[in-house]
Amino acid sequence: MKIEEKLFLLTYKHDKQTHITIRSNEPCANQCGAQWGRPCTTFCPANVYNWDGEKIAVSYENCVECTSCLTGCPYQNIDWRLPRGGFGVQYRNG
Amino acid sequence: MSEAEKFDAIVVGAGPAGSAAAHTMAKAGLGVVLLERGDYPGAKNVMGGVMYGRMLADVIPDFMTHAPIERVIVEERLWIATDDSAVSIGHKTANSHGEIPNAFTVLRAPFDRWFASKAEEAGALLVTGTVVEDVILDNGRVAGVRTGRADGDLLADVVVICDGVHSFLAKRAGLQQREIEPHEVALAVKEIIALPKETIQERFNVSEGEGATIEIYGTVTQGMGGYAFIYTNRESLSVGAGALMSHFMKTKITPYALLERVKQHPLVRPLIAGGQVVEYLAHAIPEGGYKAMPKLYTDGALIAGDAAMMVNGLHREGSNLAITAGRLAAETVIEAKAKGDFSAQSLSAYREKLQHSFVLKDLQKYQHLPEFIDRHSDLLGIYPDLVNHAVHEMLTVDGMSKREKQKKIWRDLTARRSLWQLLKDGYQTWKVIR
């Protein structure tokens, strides 16, 4: 089962606004690739972060709010905030 | 224009720590509001999840009659596994569990909902769908919280911070200055795999209402420090794996690929065969232990649970520390209310209570373990192989004399890990867990 199919099983209350932004493209484009290999594109369990050749594309709708990107970005370059009250993932089992 | 409402206490987060705190304070007659950012308690929470009965009974003595528990654990197994074999050690009991079972599995969405509803029954005001964005400071003292709602300021004598791993409020309240490091937190993923209860009971050899847990260490985490687990629920299995964040960053293994490898392991596959994945979950777990904890109290605030890094990873304990800490925080607030003193000095009694309980005692016991796991996860690759080889060789009946076999096993072992190295490994491991 691919990750997209697993995420599809989840219930979300999607907000129109993102709760995740990349602070600056500079570290992603000029430093992280060589130094770290852009770990956000691999450690995120919900495939939120993808390098499109120029910048990190953020698919905030996938986010399961695990909070790992708060520690995992070596440049502290991810501005991750709590989604607005009631929005985001809603686990049925947990 | 309404003035900000004032409560005796505000609890942030309706997880195990928050609901335990809110219930205890409400029962003592305090005016408590319990704030939860999810639409319902449990919406944002993930656990393996094994919960421990006595700590819950300390808050809700008769929980067995109406809490949504999955299976009472009667067997716990530990597998030290290679890619295709395992040496296992375990314990199973045929004794009935008595009034309070030692351990049982739960699903957090129904469980947290139930637990928060008990706090409501006791008189706490549960407000869901509400994010706490900041604490309100009054001359350096925590005096309340700012929520995401319009006119959403709430005031209280004490704020009990239970907002989970990577607590934002810990920083805002001045309890934590620094960032959490990647080796201080683990990332775990799991799936809920639905199976008929008869199938579960047959495969795991348990009766109705009873369950088993399996923890798997070894090559299953592909060189990363962590483990995999299989827990039985009533009509599903919780199957998951986790490893240190710092190791995920180094190896670039994706969490879902890690979990797929676990599920494909020849010893795991038959246990989950025919099951249907009904949910996929992920969460960070505090692993830094005692050395990574924030300050536990300040003027007008206390912190408990994952937000305070209260997890004993080696023993798979977190929710029981959270429930106990929530209760002890509540008892501290009740005492402070009687004195009318909510200063740090008064609230320092919280730390004393934690120190007298297993919470700080256990966290202190294992305070050197997180660093050890970060540095020596290679042992997880080496020892399962050695142990499996040794045991397999001993069990193989191939005509070699037993004395020769013993010598051969010893030669094979020390060829891969010298006697000096074995002794050093043993000593270093003993030092961090004693």
| Residue A94, in any domain of the structure | no
Q: Which residue of A has its CA nearest to B39?
A: A86
A86 contact B CB<8A: yes
Three-state SS for A60? helix
Residue A84, domain extent: 3-89
Q: Do B107 and A93 touch (CB under 8 A)?
A: yes
Task: Return the CATH architecture of domain B182-286.
Answer: 2-Layer Sandwich (3.30)
Note the ipTM here: 0.97
Q: Do A42 and B180 touch (CB under 8 A)?
A: no
Q: Do B253 and A42 touch (CB under 8 A)?
A: yes
CATH 3.50.50.60 in chain B: give the residue spans. 5-70+106-176+294-356
CB nearest A43 (choices: B42, B107, B248): B248
How many CB pairs (< 8 A) connect A and B? Answer: 137
Average pLDDT, rounded, for chain A: 97
CATH 3.30.9.90 in chain B: give the residue spans. 182-286
Q: Do A42 and B37 touch (CB under 8 A)?
A: no
| Residue A23, in any domain of the structure | yes
* Length of chain A measured in residues: 94
pLDDT digits (tens, 9 = 90+) for A2-12: 999 999 999 99
A42 contact B CB<8A: yes
> pLDDT tens per residue, chain B (434 residues)?
456 779 999 999 999 999 999 999 999 999 999 999 999 999 999 999 999 999 999 999 999 999 999 999 999 999 999 999 999 999 999 988 888 999 999 999 999 999 999 999 999 999 999 999 999 999 999 999 999 888 889 999 999 999 999 999 999 999 999 999 999 999 999 999 999 999 999 999 999 999 999 999 999 999 999 999 999 999 999 999 999 999 999 999 999 999 999 999 999 999 999 999 999 999 999 999 999 999 999 999 999 999 999 999 999 999 999 999 999 999 999 999 999 999 999 999 999 999 999 999 999 999 999 999 988 888 888 999 999 999 999 999 999 999 999 999 999 999 999 999 999 999 999 999 98
For testing the chain A interface, which of B283, B285, B309 should be mutated: the one with the most A CBs within 10 Å? B283
CB nearest A93 (choices: B164, B279, B283): B279
Min Cα separation A72/chain B (Å): 6
Domain B5-70+106-176+294-356 fold: FAD/NAD(P)-binding domain (3.50.50)
Helix (H), strand (E), coil (C) string for chain B: CCCCEEEEEEEECCCHHHHHHHHHHHHCCCCEEEECCCCCCCCCCCCCCEEEHHHHHHHCCCHHHCCCCCCEEEEEEEEEECCCCEEEEEEECCCCCCCCCCEEECCHHHHHHHHHHHHHHCCCEEECCCCEEEEEEECCEEEEEEECCCCCEEEEEEEEECCCCCCHHHHHCCCCCCCCCHHHEEEEEEEEEECCHHHHHHHHCCCCCEEEEEEEEEHHHCCCCEEEEEEECCCEEEEEEEEEHHHHHHHCCCHHHHHHHHHHCCCCHHHHCCCEEEEEEEEEEECCHHHHCCCCEECCEEECHHHHCCCEHHHCECHHHHHHHHHHHHHHHHHHHHHCCCCHHHHCHHHHHHHHCHHHHHHHHCCCHHHHHHHCCCHHHHHHHHHHHHHHHHHCCCCCCHHHHHHHHHHHHHHHCCHHHHHHHHHHHHHHHC
Q: Which residue of B has its CA nearest to A45?
A: B255
Please count the structural domains in chain A: 1
| Residue A11, in any domain of the structure | yes
Q: What is the CA radius of gyration of chain A?
A: 14
| Residue A21, in any domain of the structure | yes
A30 contact B CB<8A: no
Min Cα separation A24/chain B (Å): 19
Min Cα separation B417/chain A (Å): 32
CATH number at residue A61: 3.30.70.20
- pTM (2 d.p.): 0.96
CB nearest B245 (choices: A65, A71, A86): A71
pLDDT at A1 over 90: no
Q: Do B148 and A71 touch (CB under 8 A)?
A: no
Contacts of A72 in chain B (CB under 8 A): 182, 187, 245, 248-249
Contacts of B287 in chain A (CB under 8 A): none
Tell me the average pLDDT across A52-61.
Answer: 97
Tell me the average pLDDT across A78-87.
Answer: 97
